[in-house]
């Protein structure tokens, strides 16, 4: 009996002492770390006088384009004061910050907002709803009246992103038992209602739907959809009947009920993600680009199949964050007020995150679904490719830069080389007539050019 008690006492003693021992070692460890830290960082003279122009953030694989030094501290609360978009975004970022806002509270919000009780909804207003409640725009942006008209229009409808579908393809992603299966590659092409010719040429050349053979690899199912808004019928001819006809004939028109302006292009991304999640969630890859580009679809199919193999399969981690294009690493907002990209400082301050040039990018369907979710936490931004970059940034995804995506055309001299077009996956800008001509030339040159390899980085040449 006594022996037994003794053993229990030892166990008890052990249990009591273990935390003390752990805390003790932790203290010793911390003091060691601190003293080492001081001795290591102490001789500040060792820091080179001129810092390198670029730095690579750890944890991300960045190829080619490196981020620059931040021009200001990330933690300066006053840094973005005065810029409307930044201020609105800060409130959303705080709302979704797991430390500042416990998950239980967010869940309660989400629950309330999926219920139909309007009174309950009012008790808990959401930061994204906040903008419409601010009301007097002039008071938040002193120079609102001086903004360009398109910026004023953008700011007014910044909080709206649920526009109804006017025309949509019926069977893009299979029907019946094959419903929702989706193609290997979906070509989602930004177009405008009057660009009939662009669409027609794309259908006949690089945008053919169905089973498409690779240059060397296997054939894959490709589908095509044109993304359209609506033109102002007061100013333009009304072509809605023609579009209906076009849609019935080709089944590749996806049109929403919003004004098709430059600053509204971001809506095409956001609404495409919504549409895909409802109709084509199994799509493996999405090409999203302009209707004035030339794409080497067959070579792109080969490249994508290679990427799947290298990343370890369609469901791999690599594919969850896969986006490739002409990545612009460290752009700053355009402050020239006469250009169409002009964004005033009163609207946005800071650098742009890395983003794939809007002429054309390719990303995985899995990433599209993640972008759809995270985009609910990012205020719309008037430049569409930058907006996608902002969403990627919040997912911790870095797009892959590939020099074969030429969204700014060939460098001088390179175009004259024989087989130049065989070195690219995409080239921007080409008129419908040029696309047609290049396409037939490329078929003619195929046998002599087929072994040309894709462009590599030529920076420094
Ligand atoms: C990108 O960088 C990673 C890590 O540095 C490297 O393994 C990979 O080969 C690079 N990819 C390209 C396309 O250069
Ligand atoms: C975008 O479309 C909406 C809906 O048609 C419109 O109210 C808004 O003014 C448009 N925004 C821009 C910047 O054109
Ligand atoms: C554009 O900027 C210039 C100087 O930067 C200024 O003089 C001009 O008034 C501005 N124009 C508009 C329309 O704001
Ligand atoms: C096809 O080959 C001809 C003759 O070499 C060349 O002039 C032309 O630019 C090539 N076109 C394309 C699209 O490769
Ligand atoms: C291209 O490569 C294939 C196989 O590697 C070879 O048989 C063919 O002769 C090459 N063609 C040219 C024009 O170099």
Q: What is the pLDDT of residue 46?
A: 45
- Cα(3)–Cα(9) distance, integer angstroms: 10
Measuring from each residue's beta carbon to the nearest atom of ligand 4, which residues come in under 6 Å? 418-419, 421, 438, 441-442, 445
Dist. CA 229 → ligand 2 center (Å): 10
Is residue 173 within 8 A of residue 182, CB to CB? The reply is: yes
Q: What is the pLDDT of residue 232?
A: 77
User: Does the CB atom of residue 153 touch ligand 2 within 6 A?
Assistant: yes
Question: Hey, CA dihedral for 384, 385, 390, 396, is it positive or negative?
Answer: positive
Give how far the C-alpha of residue 164 lies from the chain's centroid of Cα atoms, to the nearest Å: 22
Question: Which atom of ligand 5 is found nearest the CA of 448?
Answer: 13
Is residue 319 within 8 A of residue 308, CB to CB? The reply is: yes
Q: Residue 306: nearest ligand to its CA?
A: 1
Q: Residue 145: nearest ligand to its CA?
A: 3
Question: Which atom of ligand 1 is found nearest the CA of 63?
Answer: 1
User: Does the CB atom of residue 63 touch ligand 1 within 6 A?
Assistant: yes
- Cα(391)–Cα(393) distance, integer angstroms: 5
- Cα(348)–Cα(386) distance, integer angstroms: 12
Mutational pocket test of ligand 4: of 443, 445, 447, 450, the residue with most ligand atoms within 8 Å of the beta carbon: 445
User: Does the CB atom of residue 261 touch ligand 2 within 6 A?
Assistant: yes
Dist. CA 452 → ligand 5 center (Å): 10
Pairing of strands 400-401, 323-325: parallel
Mutational pocket test of ligand 2: of 157, 166, 263, 384, the residue with most ligand atoms within 8 Å of the beta carbon: 157
Dist. CA 330 → ligand 3 center (Å): 25
Q: What is the pLDDT of residue 90?
A: 82
For residue 188, give the nearest of 88, 270, 311, 81 by alpha carbon.
Answer: 270
Dist. CA 63 → ligand 1 center (Å): 6
Q: What is the pLDDT of residue 39?
A: 42
User: Does the CB atom of residue 310 touch ligand 1 within 6 A?
Assistant: no
What Rg, from alpha-carbon coordinates, does the chain have?
A: 27
Dist. CA 231 → ligand 2 center (Å): 10
- Cα(379)–Cα(154) distance, integer angstroms: 12
Nearest CA to ligand 4 atom 6: 418
For residue 88, give the nearest of 145, 127, 135 by alpha carbon.
Answer: 127
Q: What is the pLDDT of residue 38?
A: 46
Q: What is the pLDDT of residue 17?
A: 63
* Measured CA angle at 342 (ends 321, 226), to 5 deg: 50
User: Does the CB atom of residue 316 touch ligand 2 within 6 A?
Assistant: no
> The domain 165-401: what is its CATH number?
3.90.550
Nearest CA to ligand 2 atom 5: 258
User: Does the CB atom of residue 61 touch ligand 1 within 6 A?
Assistant: yes
Mutational pocket test of ligand 5: of 215, 445, 450, 453, the residue with most ligand atoms within 8 Å of the beta carbon: 450
Domain ranges of the chain: 79-140, 165-401
Q: Residue 419: nearest ligand to its CA?
A: 4
Is residue 54 within 8 A of residue 67, CB to CB? The reply is: yes
Mutational pocket test of ligand 5: of 215, 450, 451, the residue with most ligand atoms within 8 Å of the beta carbon: 451
Nearest CA to ligand 1 atom 8: 63
pLDDT in tens, the chain (461 residues): 445 555 666 655 555 666 667 777 777 777 665 555 444 433 344 444 455 555 545 444 454 555 555 555 555 556 567 788 888 888 788 888 878 777 777 776 666 555 555 554 444 445 444 444 445 565 666 777 888 888 989 988 988 999 999 999 988 887 766 766 789 999 999 999 999 999 999 999 999 999 999 998 889 999 999 999 998 777 778 899 999 999 999 999 999 999 999 999 999 999 999 999 999 999 999 999 999 999 999 999 999 999 999 999 988 999 999 999 999 998 999 999 888 899 998 899 888 999 999 999 999 999 999 999 999 989 999 999 999 999 999 999 999 999 999 999 999 889 889 999 999 999 999 999 999 999 999 999 999 999 999 998 765 33
Q: Which tokens go with 237?
A: 């001819």
Nearest CA to ligand 5 atom 3: 451
């Amino acid at each position: 009996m006594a022996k037994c008690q003794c053993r229990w006492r030892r166990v008890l003693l052990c249990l009591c002492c273990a935390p003390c021992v752990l805390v003790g070692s932790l203290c010793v460890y911390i003091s060691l770390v601190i003293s080492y830290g001081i001795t290591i960082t102490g001789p500040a003279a060792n820091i080179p006088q001129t810092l390198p122009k670029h730095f690579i953030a750890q944890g991300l694989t960045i190829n080619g384009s490196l981020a620059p030094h931040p021009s200001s501290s990330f933690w300066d609360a006053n840094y973005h004061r005065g810029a409307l978009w930044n201020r609105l975004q800060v409130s959303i970022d705080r709302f979704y910050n797991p430390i500042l806002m416990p998950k239980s509270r967010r869940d309660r919000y989400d629950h309330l907002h999926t219920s139909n009780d309007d009174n309950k909804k009012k008790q808990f207003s959401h930061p994204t709803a906040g903008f419409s409640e601010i009301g007097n725009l002039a008071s938040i942006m002193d120079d609102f009246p001086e903004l360009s008209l398109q910026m004023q229009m953008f700011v007014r409808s910044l909080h709206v992103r649920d526009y109804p579908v006017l025309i949509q393809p019926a069977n893009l992603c299979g029907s019946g038992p094959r419903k929702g299966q989706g193609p290997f590659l979906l070509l989602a092409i930004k177009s405008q209602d009057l660009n009939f010719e662009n669409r027609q040429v794309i259908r006949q050349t690089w945008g053919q739907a169905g089973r498409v053979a690779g240059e060397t690899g296997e054939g894959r199912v490709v589908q095509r959809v044109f993304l359209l808004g609506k033109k102002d019928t007061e100013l333009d001819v009304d072509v809605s009947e023609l579009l209906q006809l076009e849609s019935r004939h080709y089944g590749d028109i996806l049109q929403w009920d919003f004004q098709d302006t430059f600053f509204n292009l971001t809506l095409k991304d956001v609404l495409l993600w919504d549409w895909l999640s409802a109709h084509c969630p199994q799509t493996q890859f999405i090409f999203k680009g302009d209707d004035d580009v030339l794409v080497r679809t067959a070579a792109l199919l080969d490249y994508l199949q290679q990427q799947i193999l290298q990343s370890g399969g369609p469901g791999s981690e690599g594919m969850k964050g896969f986006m490739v294009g002409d990545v612009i690493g460290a752009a700053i907002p355009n402050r020239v007020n006469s250009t169409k990209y002009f964004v005033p400082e009163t609207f946005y301050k800071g650098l742009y995150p890395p983003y794939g040039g809007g002429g054309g990018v390719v990303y995985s369907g899995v990433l599209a679904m993640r972008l759809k979710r995270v985009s609910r936490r990012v205020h719309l931004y008037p430049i569409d490719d930058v907006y996608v970059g902002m969403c990627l940034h919040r997912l911790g995804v870095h797009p892959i830069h590939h020099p074969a995506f030429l969204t700014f055309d060939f460098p001088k001299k390179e175009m004259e080389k024989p087989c130049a077009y065989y070195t690219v996956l995409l080239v921007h800008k080409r008129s419908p007539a040029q696309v047609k001509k290049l396409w037939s030339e490329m078929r003619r040159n195929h046998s002599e050019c087929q072994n040309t390899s894709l462009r590599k980085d030529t920076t420094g040449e």
